[in-house]
Each structure stands twice: as C-alpha cells, then as structure tokens.
Amino acid sequence: MLFQKNDTVLFIGDSISDYERARPVGEGLFNAWGTSYVADAAALLTCMYPELSLRLINMGISGNNIRDLDARWDEDVLAHHPDWVSVLIGINDVWRQFDSPQMKETHVPLEEYRQTYIRLIEKTLPKVKGMILMTPYFMEPNRNDSMRACMDTYGDAVRGLAQQYGLCFVDLQSAWDRLFEYMHPCNIAWDRIHPNQVGCMYIAKQFLAAVGADRT
C-alpha cells in the first residue's frame, strides 16, 4: 500500500470530487468529505487501515477545470502540506467544448491542459511523497462519439504524464468501459458524468486498487 502511518492524502478536482464537501476544507465532523468517491475511498481506507491514522482531505470544487486548479493550488493543496495528492481534473475542460461551443473562453485546449498539468506536477513533486493521477472520463461506450473521442485524448495526456513522472495512475475511462459491458451508463449517471452512489463507489474501488489498498 502506498500510504504510510500518519500520511495526509489530499484529493483535488471538480464536481466529481466535490459532492457537497465541507467548506473551506473538506475534512472533519459531520460528513465533511461530502458524498463523492472521495468520501467512499476515505471511509474505506480509514476502516481498512485504522492503525495508519491517515488524514484525508477533499478539496474538489464543482465546475473547476485545470485553470482553476492552477489558480488555487498553493492555497488549496500545498498549504495543507499533504504527503500524497490525488488529482481528477479535465472533464469540464472537455465538456465546455461540447455544451457551450460558442463560449470559447471556457474551453481548455489539450496542449494548455497538458502544460498546466506539467506545471502543477513539477511544482508539487519536490514537496510530497507522490501523486495519483486519474483520467477524466465520459460515460459513453461508443468511442466514435465526438465528446468521448475528445475526452480520450485528454485521458491519454494524463496517462503519458503519469508514465513520464513515474506516478500512480488510475484509468477511469477504461474502468467505465468494463462496467458498461453489463449495464447502460444511464444506470450510473443521467448526464453520463456525475455518478450515483454505485458509480462513486466504483471510482473509489479503482483508486483503492491503484494505491494497493487490498484489505477486506
């Protein structure tokens, strides 16, 4: 398992991480982690590895793209002195290109996405034990769908960065493809983006597998 005793693990991203987490910091009493995959992963880690006394923080903000993460990285990530940073970002970077095509200022081109991600990785790695990179996704099994095809290029960029910097990698898009061999995406998310409880747990399970959390 990647995490060690007293490690702080910080999750950052968009609405998929947010899910009504506490403000200003998503940790503490009264379900402060919210109800996303972060809450599921954090709860399972706490139950599975109680002796590690892990500190788990949710800093997702709904609607964020990678520009937003760049703007708040120092305050919302580095200021918490995490040992591990898990990043799930890119859905809005792509989605705005399709649901708001005329509002080009809201679109984040692939190369800007990649270069901003590189800047965040290189800024963070000297200060942490490691990072976990998760691919953005679209719950569309048809790979020829225009938004799915675009999302795959952003996911490929994340894969490439994980390989380049030797980081833990979680391929959520491939995970959804496996699940949807047995069910329709509408069974998980009406908009094919925001998962229900089953979908949140499914993401959490992909995360736990990637970090080597395998206790029952």
Catalytic residue among 7, 15, 70, 80: 15
Helix (H) or strand (E) holding 12: strand 8-13
Q: Answer yes or no: 86 catalytic.
A: no
Beta strands in 16-129 (DSSP E): 55-58, 84-88
CA 21 from centroid of its chain's CA atoms: 14
d(CA 40, CA 43): 5
d(CA 147, CA 29): 39
Contact between 52 and 6 under an 8 Å Cβ cutoff? The reply is yes
In sequence order, which residues have a C-beta less than 8 Å from that of residue 127 and are 6 or more positions away?
A: 78, 81
Q: Answer yes or no: 15 catalytic.
A: yes
In order, the DSSP letters of 52-85 are: G--EEEE---TT--HHHHHHHHHHHTGGG--SEE
Q: Answer yes or no: 191 catalytic.
A: yes
Catalytic residue among 80, 145, 174, 194: 194
**Which residues are part of the catalytic machinery?**
15, 191, 194
